């Protein structure tokens, strides 16, 4: 049962051009029967139908459906009612023109729990009822107006709803199909309520159980209909030959049939056959009209169609109710299928959008990869010292002797004194004959006593067994491989350096690389004799003003030596007129690391800004592209809303479409491109993507999916947030 009380509806409310299209209307409808709403164009009858059917909002009053009262338009509740209880036949069809007849009907049934076989049976039955079965697989765009109207009627019938709202359902049908469709509606009105808007009073007088007349938004008449005995189409312009007398005239050239209604005026016609043409000349005052296939009037065998009330009783239309428990939400599998179907039917229309997606993915991938390389850069790119060394600079050998003596007396601070800790190594590659005469110097590392090398950190090779063997940190060699094009051509990985001979010019000695360690240091481990182990009795040591301390607490040691300045006042007078510090201890690794972090911080800020701009530009382009795509498909969105699919379902379907497009245009290309780049980076120094791990790329892709999906939702949401009738009117 539907009951409307005090219903009001305005267009352009509170504006100069305000229209009060429904005036304080109160109506009650039962659970069955055929009700016709009559009125002239612009009288408000279609608006009244839309408001009662939940397609449009209302300004005042209430609508009660099966004891559920609505005092205002609530989209979710209306969507649920429309999908489960209502069926619609629209004057403008509202079909998905690029889709098949079958799909247009099935999509309205997908929210019900039916097997594919049950769906096929139901579709076939309603198409047979409207004589459209043979067009089942044909796109709607290839149908005539009358055929489209019959498909729209079949879609409404397929749901076997509790209420059918029909707006001029026969307006685009010929006489025979008008009678057939109205007979179906009359038949099903015994078990459901049919509310039909029409301007043809003869249809209402013959088929309706109740007639409501509307004028300027006001119900002027609401009566039980006294049905006419029979129905004939008085507006039919065709000439039915069965209603005329016939006289046959036989000539040598053929047969001429003359049809008349009993009052034949004398006439004379001259007919001449010549060159395959028939020439007709009228020799009387009788007007001669010629009928072709394009003429409004046609000659039809038989008599004018007439239907009587008893014929309606004999008309057969039996279709079971859809299973109970349906809802207005499509399953995820159905939404995914719908998304795939939509993309398939878009065809070439989606090429531009695909191109935009590809370009956006390339831009975001490159900038994000660059950001990753900066944010996760290796410290060895800027660090060139072992983290355990403190460098002490003294203005006088005596100061160095005194400072070391005091340091040795500190029980809390431990460390050993060294000199000569910064020396280069020359390596000559024998891997290629072209490179045998070329050598390169390895720099940017510290020499460390091999006793400080933890054997568990050995990555390749072994510990040194004699004074002419050396172990080099992997980070030192990685820096070489990434910065020296000659060596990177000869050596692919750090492991390839095993067994190579390197020359130390400072000590005039050749070392054989016996091992590669992985302690995240910038160090080479050698015997202590090569790095000048210092002692207090070493005269060579005292001739130098600088020395290094290897310690586990470098920052504390550096602070200790710097604080000794206050205890060497006597040196300020004779040797230090300007009172500069006589002892300066520094922590080179700390300075390198601080500079590294500062550079990374600045680089990250710059890269973040660039990445943000690129992402923003990409999103803006995607928004406009997907918005344009949604606007091109407004007709499709209108249809989905009119047949009861919820905004959430529509947006989720668009998200699935976007995911499919993203997989095709972004996920697959990114994975392929990354795989190729990583392969190339193992062959040549191709560093574009080689530093980006798969996990980071998957995170980037996940972010891309999220952004694209959000853009898809926002693009569609702005269109479908209106009530369905307003959305249809705007379209």
Residue pLDDT, tens place only, 653-666: 888 888 887 777 77
Give residues with Cβ within 8 angstroms of 597, minimum separation 6: none
Strand-strand pairing, 446-449 and 389-394: unpaired
Look at the block and give the residue holding tokens 């831009």: 363
Please say if the pLDDT value at position 262 is more than 80: no
pLDDT-based confidence at residue 541 (cuts at 50, 70, 90)? very low
- Residue 577 to residues 42, 399, 566, Cα–Cα distance (Å): 105, 16, 15
pLDDT-based confidence at residue 454 (cuts at 50, 70, 90)? very high
Please say if the pLDDT value at position 76 is more than 60: yes
Q: How many C-beta neighbours within 10 Å does residue 644 have?
A: 26
Taking the C-alpha atoms of residue 335 and residue 340, their distance in angstroms, rounded to an integer, is 9
What is the topology classification, in CATH, of domain 2-232? Rossmann fold (3.40.50)
CA dihedral 361, 362, 363, 368 (to 10 degrees): 80
Please say if the pLDDT value at position 269 is more than 60: yes
Residue pLDDT, tens place only, 559-615: 888 888 877 766 555 555 555 677 888 888 888 888 877 777 777 777 777 777 777
Q: Are 704 and 666 in contact (CB under 8 A)?
A: yes
Look at the block and give the residue holding tokens 């040194």: 464
Q: Where are the alpha helices (DSSP H) in 189-314?
A: 201-207, 309-314
DSSP category for residue 261:
S
Higher pLDDT, 438 or 552: 552
Q: Are 3 and 195 in contact (CB under 8 A)?
A: no
Question: Chain-centre distance of CA 355, in angstroms?
Answer: 14
3-state secondary structure 40-53: CCCCCHHHHHHHHC
Domain layout of the chain by residue ranges: 2-232, 239-303, 332-379+593-730, 389-589
Q: Are 419 and 532 in contact (CB under 8 A)?
A: yes
Angular region, 584: left φ>0, alpha ψ -120 to 50, beta rest: beta
User: Which tokens belong to 206?
Assistant: 């013959």
| % pLDDT > 90, the chain | 18
Q: What is the mean pLDDT of the chain?
A: 80
Instruction: Indicate whether this model's pTM tops 0.75.
Output: no
Look at the block and give the residue holding tokens 């049919």: 194
Higher pLDDT, 52 or 258: 52
Look at the block and give the residue holding tokens 């290839």: 142
Q: How many C-beta neighbours within 10 Å does residue 268 have?
A: 9
Per-position DSSP letters for 687-723, written without gaps between them? -SSTTS-HHHHHHHHHHHHHHHHHHHHHHHHHHHTS-
pLDDT at residue 439 in the model = 66
Q: How many C-beta neighbours within 10 Å does residue 372 have?
A: 20
Helix axes 351-375, 588-632, angle to 10 degrees: 170
Classify 191 as helix, strand or coil: coil
Average pLDDT, integer, range 612-620: 77
Look at the block and give the residue holding tokens 């070493």: 538
In the chain the first and final C-alpha atoms are separated, in Å, by 32
Higher pLDDT, 600 or 719: 719
Partner residues linked to 513 by β-bridges: 470
């Amino acid at each position: 049962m539907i009951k409307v009380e005090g219903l009001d509806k305005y267009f352009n409310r509170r504006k100069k051009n305000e229209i009060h299209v429904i005036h304080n209307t109160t109506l009650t409808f039962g659970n069955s029967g055929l009700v016709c709403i009559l009125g002239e164009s612009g009288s408000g009858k279609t608006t009244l139908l839309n408001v009662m059917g939940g397609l449009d909002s209302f300004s005042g009053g209430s609508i009660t459906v099966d004891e559920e009262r609505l005092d205002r338009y609530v989209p979710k509740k209306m969507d649920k009612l429309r999908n489960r209880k209502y069926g619609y036949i629209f004057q403008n069809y509202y079909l998905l023109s690029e889709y098949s007849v079958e799909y247009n009907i099935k999509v309205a049934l997908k929210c019900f729990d039916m097997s594919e076989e049950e769906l096929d049976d139901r579709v076939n039955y309603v198409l047979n009822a409207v004589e459209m079965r043979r067009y089942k697989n044909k796109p709607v765009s290839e149908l005539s107006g009358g055929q489209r109207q019959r498909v729209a009627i079949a879609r409404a019938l397929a749901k076997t709803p509790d209420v059918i709202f029909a707006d001029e359902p026969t307006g685009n049908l010929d006489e025979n199909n008008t009678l057939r469709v109205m007979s179906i509606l009359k038949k099903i009105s015994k078990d459901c309520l049919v509310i039909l808007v029409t301007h043809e009073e003869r249809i209402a007088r013959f088929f309706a159980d109740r007639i409501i007349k509307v004028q300027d938004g006001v119900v002027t008449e609401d009566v039980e209909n006294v049905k006419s005995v029979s129905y004939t189409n008085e507006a039919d312009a065709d000439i039915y030959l069965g209603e005329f007398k016939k006289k046959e005239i036989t000539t040598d050239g053929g047969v001429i049939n003359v049809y008349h209604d009993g009052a034949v005026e004398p006439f004379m016609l001259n007919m001449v056959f010549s060159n395959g043409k028939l020439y007709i000349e009228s020799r009387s005052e009788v007007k001669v009209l010629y009928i072709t296939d394009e003429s409004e009037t046609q000659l039809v065998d038989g008599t004018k169609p007439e239907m009587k009330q008893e014929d309606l009783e004999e008309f057969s239309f039996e279709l079971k109710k859809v299973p109970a428990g349906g809802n207005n939400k499509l399953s995820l599998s159905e939404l995914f299928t719908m998304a795939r179907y939509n993309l398939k039917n878009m065809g070439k229309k989606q090429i531009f959008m695909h191109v935009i997606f590809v370009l956006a993915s390339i831009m975001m991938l490159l900038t994000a990869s660059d950001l990753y390389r900066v944010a996760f850069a290796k410290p060895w790119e800027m660090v060139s010292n072992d983290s355990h060394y403190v460098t002490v600079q003294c203005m006088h050998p005596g100061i160095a002797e005194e400072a070391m003596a005091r340091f040795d007396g500190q029980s809390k601070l431990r460390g050993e004194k060294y000199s000569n800790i910064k020396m280069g190594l020359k390596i000559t590659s024998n891997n290629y004959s072209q490179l045998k005469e070329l050598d390169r110097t390895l720099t940017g590392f510290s020499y460390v006593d091999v006793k400080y090398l933890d054997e568990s950190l050995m990555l390749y090779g072994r510990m040194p067994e004699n004074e002419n063997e050396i172990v080099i940190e992997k980070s030192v060699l990685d820096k070489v491989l990434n910065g020296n094009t000659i060596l990177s051509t000869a050596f692919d990985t750090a492991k390839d350096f095993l067994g190579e001979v390197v020359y130390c010019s400072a000590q005039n000695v050749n070392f054989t690389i016996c091992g590669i360690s992985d302690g995240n240091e910038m160090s080479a481990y050698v015997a202590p004799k090569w790095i000048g182990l210092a002692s207090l009795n070493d005269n060579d040591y005292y001739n130098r003003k600088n020395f290094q301390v290897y310690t586990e607490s470098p920052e504390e040691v550096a602070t200790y030596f710097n604080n000794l300045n206050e205890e060497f006042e006597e040196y300020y007078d004779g040797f230090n007129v300007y009172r500069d510090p006589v002892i300066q201890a520094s922590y080179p690794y700390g300075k390198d690391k601080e500079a590294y972090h500062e550079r990374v911080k600045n680089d990250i800020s710059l890269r973040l800004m660039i990445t943000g701009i690129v992402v923003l530009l990409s999103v803006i382009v995607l928004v406009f592209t997907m918005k344009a795509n949604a606007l091109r498909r407004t007709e499709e969105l209108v249809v989905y809303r009119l047949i009861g699919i919820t905004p959430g379902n529509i947006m989720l379907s668009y998200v699935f479409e976007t995911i499919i497009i993203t997989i095709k245009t972004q996920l697959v290309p990114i994975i392929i491109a990354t795989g190729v780049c990583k392969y190339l980076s193992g062959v040549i120094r191709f560093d574009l993507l080689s530093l980006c791990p798969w996990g980071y790329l998957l995170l980037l892709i996940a972010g891309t999916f999220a952004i694209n999906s959000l853009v898809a939702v926002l693009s569609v949401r702005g269109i479908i947030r209106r009530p369905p009738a307003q959305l249809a009117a705007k379209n």
